[in-house]
Structure 1
Amino acid sequence: MKDIRMNRGDNSGYDHIEFEEISGNHGKAIGIISMKKPPRNSIGSWLLDAIYDKMDQYEGNDKIGAIIIASKLRGVFSDGADRDELFGSWISGLVAEKNYERFKRAHEMFVEIENCKKPVIAAINGVTIGAGLELAMLCDLRIASELSFFSLPEAKPELSIIPGLGGTQRLPRFIGTARAKEMLFLGKMIRAETALEWGLVNQISPHKEVIEQAIATAKILLERDARALKEMKKCINFAAENDILKGIEYEVGLFAEMMRLKLTNKNRQ
């Protein structure tokens, strides 16, 4: 991943995450990054730096085959952006000067996370709103507790802004334009069952089993061909930003290269 952390040289964001590696299949492991920033895992630049840095390490570690983003706080994945930082005098001063570099860098970090070469699973154990939902949408798969709920409340009077980390762009791709407008314009909260029906999450799990279900799903991914997963992810992400003809051309190029390598290796045997 690119070196685009917002607070270089300051690793205090690591105070707000825990991480561990779980043994999986075929000599591979699962890297788990868990947010633990009381009271509700609000996402500020230091926490984002730590998540990004650890994902960068896992992406570059050949022993890690899949990554899970989770939460250590009971009943909450993340309640959104860190408002003390976002609306603090420091950021307000930068905005007044039309210095938007930190906002642009946060977007770049989100794009890098979204394009991580390893499959990424969000283990969602509860409240997932604002920037928390924007983070979850970067993941390839989302497994949610039956108690989870989701919203993007930025249009409500107490905030009076719009999502700042890709919510207006990614949400319609998951649930369609009409439903995205319903959530965004009304600040509508949806529960796990609706999120599953609309395609925002992939699975619903009993509340106490979310992380176990995420690990079980990651272990299935470890049984798949790592390069095939990586190339399929590249194709899917490419499709979100290009028309189908360009997408097919891109897919054919990757398919042909994988076939060439496969046949070359077969002939060497």
Structure 2
Amino acid sequence: MNLENMIYEKKGHIAVITFNHPPANAWNLAAVTDFLAAVDEAEKDKDVRVVILTGAGDKCFSAGMDVSDAANLPKTSPMAKTLWTRIDRFEKPVIAAINGHALGGGLELALCCTFRIMADNPKAKIGLTELNLGIIPGWGGTQRLSRVIGEAKALDMILFSRRLDANQALEIGLVNQVSAPEMLMEDAMAFAEALAKRPPVAVAMVLKAMSAGAYEGIEIGLEVEGQGSAVVKNTKDSQEGFAAFLEKRPPNFIGE
């Protein structure tokens, strides 16, 4: 793909999308448009089982909205909100490899990811700091931060525009893992490779059921879970899983 603001790479069953909009990997209309194209590619490629999102350089994962492109905000903001929700409901695991600052819309995107791994760089901070400007998080932060860390901690972070380092974020469950900066992508790839070995259809059904419960309530979530159970019991991967168990060997899931 010919993208100006994203780098799209495929490594085995893993797609790596790198935000490449210096200096802060902020989101303008062009960046969101390129990100949409990259997400489309990762979604339609049946060989891709896991997606990693990260930022170019070591300063920023993403610093949020690009204020220099404010004229396009009426177009950019709805696109971003829709795309962030799409990531939140993606039926392939998405890992945020947070290489630097993740602020505003950048953290809001990371919150949509299945897992978050952050570089242990003391200068790197994450937070929803919009209230410092007299505005509020508008790309899902008021809803998704509380889902991840609980209402009280989320209110404290948002209302006081608190910025956390990697270890503070790990302590409250905002990130799943902290890595040395030079090991971040290696650790993210290892995590992704482990996820890619899991049965892809079953993984998708779990993500779909949990998403339905979060967005539409537990009754719908349970209904979707039941539908997913019916789907996976007839897959080749289900047959392989039971055969591998009986034969006492690791399963080899093919995504069928």
Distance 1:174 1:264, change over 3 A: closer
Among residues 2, 6, 16, which one is paired with 2:5 in the alignment?
16
Return 5+ residue gaps in structure 2 as ranges. Answer: 241-256
SS at structure 2 position matched to 1:77: strand
Residue of structure 1 equivalent to 2:254 = none
Equivalent of 1:184, from 158, 163, 166?
158
Q: Is 1:68 equivalent to 2:52 in the alignment? A: yes
User: In the alignment, what sits opposite 2:243?
Assistant: none
Which residue among 105, 128, 136 is the counterpart of 2:79? 105
> Which whole-Å deviations, capped at 9, do the CAs of 1:156-199 have from their partners, x for residues lacking one?
1xx21111211111111001111111111000111111211212
Tell me the distance in 2 between the aligned counterparts of 1:243 and 1:263.
29
Please give the secondary structure, in 2, of the residue aligned with 1:32.
Answer: strand
SS at match of 1:165: coil
Q: Of the candidates 146, 168, 171, which is equivalent to residue 145 of structure 2?
A: 171
CA distance in 1, matches of 2:75, 2:35: 19
Q: Rate the CA distance shift 1:101–1:35 in 2: closer, same or farther, 3 A.
A: closer
Identify the match of residue 34 of structure 1 among 18, 32, 37.
18
Partner of 2:114: 140
- TM-score, structure 1 length as denominator? 0.82
Matches within 5 A, 1:93-242: 102-147=76-121, 148-156=124-132, 159-242=133-216
Contact in 1 for aligned 2:214/2:221 (Cα 8 Å):
no
Root-mean-square deviation over aligned CA pairs: 2.3
1:103-156 residue CA offsets vs partner (Å, 9 max, x unmatched): 333322221222222211111111111011011111111111112421111111
CA distance in 2, matches of 1:181, 1:245: 28
C-alpha offsets along residues 225-266 of structure 1, whole Å, 9 cap, x if unaligned? 000111111111122124333322321222133224569979
**1:65-88 CA distances to partner (integer Å, 9 max, x unpaired)?**
2111111122211111101123x4
Counterpart residue type for residue 196 of structure 1: L
Aligned to 1:4: none
Q: Return the structure number with greater relative CO, CA threshold 8 A, min gap 6.
A: 1
The correspondence for 2:227, drawn from 245, 253, 257, is 253
CA distance in 2, matches of 1:246, 1:215: 33
The answer (yes or no) to whether the contact 2:103–2:128 under 8 Å persists in 1 is: yes
Cα distance in 2 between the residues matched to 1:247 and 1:54 = 29
Paired with 1:205 and 1:161, the residues of 2 have a C-alpha distance of 32
Residue 203 of structure 1: CA displacement?
0.7
Contact 1:130 1:163 in 2 (8 A): yes
The CA distance in 2 between the partners of 1:170 and 1:53, in whole Å, is: 24
Structure 1 contact 40–73 (Cα < 8 Å) conserved: no
Structure 2 vs 1, CA of residues 263 and 207 (structure 1 numbering), >3 Å: closer, same or farther?
A: closer
The count of corresponding residues between Structure 1 and Structure 2 is 239
The 1:134–1:260 alpha-carbon spacing in structure 2 relative to 1, beyond 3 Å, is same
- 3-state SS of 2:16 partner: strand
